[in-house]
Structure formats: C-alpha cells, structure tokens
Amino acid sequence: MKEKAMGIDVDSKNLVCCIVVDEDKSRATWNTFKNQEKGFYEIHNFLRSHKVSLVLLEASGGYEQKIAIYLSANNISVYVVNPRRARDFARGIGLNYKNDKVDAFALGRMAQVAKLPPATHASPNQLKIKKLVVRRLQVKSDMVVERNRKRLADDEAKESILKHIKFLEEEVENLEKKIKALIRSDTVMEAKKKVLVKFKGIGDVTAAAMLALIPELGYIDNKKVSSLVGLAPMDNDSGTRKGKRSIFGGRSHARKSLYMPAWVAVQRDPGMKIVYQRQIDKGKKKKVAIVVIMRKLLIRANAALRVHIETQEKNLSVRKGEK
C-alpha cells in the first residue's frame, strides 16, 4: 500500500488541501486554509494529525513558494510540478472535470504514484534574486519594444522614446547592482557563482539568474536539468513516421537567461564554436544550433556545480569527523 500523501491546490488567498489514501476519492480528506503564515501552521498540524510527510503542489505564479518553503523547513517532503504535467496526470486517471477539490486530489494521487524529481527549493535569498532577475528580463523586453518603435517614429515621438530607453537602461543597471549585492551577501551562492563564471559566456548576472531560476542546478543529472529548463529535444515519432524533434515547456525565464550567453560562448569558446559550426554544416538553422549551445552550457554548469557541491559536502563531513 502506498504511503498517504497530500495535494495542495494553490491560489492567492486559499490553499485547498487533500490527503489521499488511494485511488478511492471517498477515502480522501479535504480542508481549506488561508495562504498566509497562520494557514501554514494549521496545514503543518493537519499533516501531523494524519501522519503525512509527502506533499505535492503545482507551480502557481509564485503563490506556492511560501508554503513550499515553510513545509520543507519543517521536514516535510515537498514537490512542485508543472501545471501541465499535473493536469495531464488528472486526465490520465479519468478526472476530466476540474475544480479546486479535484485538483488537490489529483495532486495527492500524483505524489503517491508518479516518479518525482528531488525536492529542491530556493532559499529566501534565491527568491529575492529570482524576482530581480525576472524583473530585469521584463525591462530588457521593454527596451526591445521601444527600440523597434524608434525605427518608425517621427522626430517628436523619437525624443520621448529615447528618454524612455535611457530610463530603462538605468533601471537595468540598478537591478544588476542589486542582484550582484545579494549574491555577495550569500557565501553559498557566491561560491557557486565563482564556479559558473569560469565558463565563457557566463557572467555575474547570468550566474545569478541560473542559481535563482534553477535551484536544482548541481543536484540532478544532465538529462533532467535539460528537460526542466525546456532544452531537451522531444521525439515526435509514430510507427514508421519520424517527426521533427522540438523543445517545449520548461522554464522560459531560465531559457531566456541562457540565450545571449550562448552566443557569447560561440564567439569566445573555440570548443563551442566548433559544436555550433558542426550544426550549421548539417543544415540546421541558426536558432536550432544555438539551442544546442544553450543546452551544452547548461549541462557543463550543472556538472561543475555537482562536483562543487559534492566537494563541499565531503569537506564538511571531514570537519565534523575531526571534531
């Protein structure tokens, strides 16, 4: 018999919780709590009273982060999955209709039977950096829009656009200063950043983005991290038909953070340039070839951080043994 698990359907105000025993919904137990500190405490007590230590939530625009961190800090195994994957699972077990209670039950059942990745959660500092990194990407996107407008603008409108572009450039600089300051204030992240910036194409801001947007980096294998970010090519075959492989899903902000660094790597890293040119010689489009570089850059970073983390853990155990 599978161990009991709890699924949590998250929104900005409420957390609908369902403790699942097995596939029989009549044996499940539901309760609703507020998405705030008091509610987190009540959920923890709810889990303890039912002797449950396994929880699954779906990513909900950041509203799931506080409860995930709270429960994880209280020795509960917490997993966060992509909403599409959760919905596909629900349909797969016959739950084609949708409401908060059904979603919570499906998540609890998924926690019982699905093979989930290691539960790795961002630290409070990583969450702060993540918000700044995402904001920087938003501002950079606004800059692209304004520069495109400038091409067709007359002199009167162009003056306003140039002022806005200057403001946005200053805002990017301010955000980057804040990101770098937060990294420096965290000894663990600063050490990891030093590992990442050794790779051509990865600077301080890109390293911060990778650490904040992919907290699993260094803790999971290369295939999983590629899939997590949405850089793993997916097969599209059936019988004798061989479809075109493509990437989809994953963490879009993390992919965006790797795009320009990949181009820098092609320019400055001879090995990456060879890999890129090999793809072009095969007839691949430039955007397809650069995705290969993005994936290779991510895999190299993941492997290097894994070695770094293992070394740190080994040194820590040696120091404890000496005491």
pLDDT at 203: 92
pLDDT at 202: 94
| pLDDT bucket at 236, cuts 50 / 70 / 90 | low
Helix axes 124-152, 155-184, angle to 10 degrees: 160
Statement: residue 25 has pLDDT above 90: no
The whole-model pTM stands at 0.75
pLDDT at 239: 74
Burial of 214 (0-12, 13-18, 19+ CB in 10 A): buried
Helix (H) / strand (E) containing 19 = strand 14-20
Q: Are 239 and 146 in contact (CB under 8 A)?
A: no
Task: State the first-to-last Cα distance of the chain, in angstroms, to the nearest integer.
Answer: 43
Helix (H, G, I), strand (E, B) or coil at 17: strand
Q: Which domains does the chain have, with CATH numbers?
A: 5-113 (3.30.420.40), 122-236+250-323 (no CATH)
39-91 residue pLDDT tens: 999 999 999 999 998 899 988 877 888 888 888 888 888 888 888 888 989 99
